[in-house]
């Protein structure tokens, strides 16, 4: 079954990147010249997604404005001969069919995804975490959708993380299936050292069957007092196993300060307009590091 719908949870408070995220959603933080969430929407579109639901919250209206038309700006660009920039601006608003819903209280990622129940209906759907930009390689969401079409099971985007950092993520119990593909039997969110099952964690993307909503209805608050998507996916993994896909691209966590810097440096180096000059700048800077 082809995956056509995606959900982008972007309602979190972003407390790790304050004060940047006080009045501006962290999902709108720029990587060179595009907000993080635009990279994510473009990845979804490149993966064959047609309908996108962005979960927002109070203070996140700039996300909606970004994907909307802006007639005054467009007129100004046209009248000053900036046809190419005009076309770029119009393209942003026609990338996909984007809808919005508000999560009224930030009760966790699982609760945010539950807000998409009506939008999703009975179909399997992709989830792209709003602060995780995956850059380079095949579109990660496409890799996961391909795996769903092949296996018909819930799919998680996974990466190996240093064992001393796994306590910040979720640890997976896995068996390798083929290179970059795993069977997932169990998982635990924010494990204590003795609970770690492997260095593999779910990072940034998943494709889930609609039955996740009935599971979420019964999922009590977990780590941090929030309704955790991992706890619901765990039920799915225990009941019918899931598949892990170690995606090709590099993930940048726009929800933490170092992640933002890494994204800007690495994407900046590849930027068509400023990449060359930026490389020169970094070369000149590096002896001083």
List residues near ligand UTP by CB under 6 A.
9-16, 55, 103, 106-109, 111-112, 129-131, 255
Sign of CA dihedral 115, 134, 162, 245: positive
CB of 104 to ligand UTP, least distance (A): 10
CA distance 112 to 117: 10
- Edge-first strand order for the sheet with 5-9 is 97-102, 51-56, 5-9, 125-128, 200-208, 155-160, 242-246, 181-189, 170-178
CB of 58 to ligand UTP, least distance (A): 12
CB of 152 to ligand UTP, least distance (A): 26
CB of 14 to ligand UTP, least distance (A): 4
Contact 250, 136 (CB under 8 A): yes
Q: Which of 95, 140, 105, 109 is nearest to 7 (CA)?
A: 109
Of the pair 9, 244, the CB lying nearest ligand UTP is at 9
Of the pair 17, 77, the CB lying nearest ligand UTP is at 17
Of the pair 13, 85, the CB lying nearest ligand UTP is at 13
CB of 59 to ligand UTP, least distance (A): 12
DSSP string, 100-126: EEE-SS---HHHHHHTTHHHHTTS-EE
Of the pair 18, 163, the CB lying nearest ligand UTP is at 18
Of the pair 107, 211, the CB lying nearest ligand UTP is at 107
Coil, strand or helix at 182: strand
CA distance 230 to 169: 10
Q: Which residue is nearest to ligand UTP (CB)?
A: 12
Q: What is the CA radius of gyration of the chain?
A: 19
CB of 57 to ligand UTP, least distance (A): 7
Coil, strand or helix at 19: coil
Of the pair 26, 142, the CB lying nearest ligand UTP is at 26
């Amino acid at each position: 079954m082809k995956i056509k719908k995606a959900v982008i949870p972007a309602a979190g408070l972003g407390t790790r990147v304050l004060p940047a995220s006080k009045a501006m959603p962290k999902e709108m933080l720029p990587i060179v010249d595009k907000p993080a969430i635009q990279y994510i929407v473009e990845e979804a579109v490149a993966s064959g997604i047609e309908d996108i639901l962005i979960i927002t919250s109070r203070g996140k209206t700039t996300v909606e404005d970004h994907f909307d038309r802006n007639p005054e700006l467009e007129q100004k660009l046209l009248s000053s001969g900036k046809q190419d920039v005009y076309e770029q601006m119009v393209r942003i608003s026609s990338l996909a069919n984007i809808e919005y819903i508000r999560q009224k209280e930030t009760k966790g990622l699982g609760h945010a995804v539950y807000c998409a129940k009506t939008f999703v209906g009975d179909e399997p759907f992709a989830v792209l975490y709003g602060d995780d930009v995956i850059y380079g390689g095949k579109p990660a969401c496409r890799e996961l959708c391909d795996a769903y079409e092949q296996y018909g099971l819930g799919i998680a985007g996974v990466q190996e993380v240093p064992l001393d950092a796994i306590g910040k993520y979720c640890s997976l119990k896995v068996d390798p299936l083929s290179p970059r593909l795993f069977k997932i039997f169990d998982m635990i969110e924010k494990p204590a050292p003795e609970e770690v099952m492997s260095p593999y964690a779910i990072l940034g993307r998943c494709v889930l069957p609609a039955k996740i909503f009935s599971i979420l209805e019964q999922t009590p608050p977990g780590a941090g007092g929030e309704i955790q998507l991992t706890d619901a996916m765990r039920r799915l993994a225990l009941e019918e196993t899931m598949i892990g896909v170690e995606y090709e691209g590099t993930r940048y966590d726009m929800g933490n300060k170092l992640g933002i810097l890494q994204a800007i440096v690495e994407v900046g180096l590849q930027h068509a307009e400023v990449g060359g000059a930026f490389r020169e700048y970094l070369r000149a800077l590096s002896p001083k590091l």
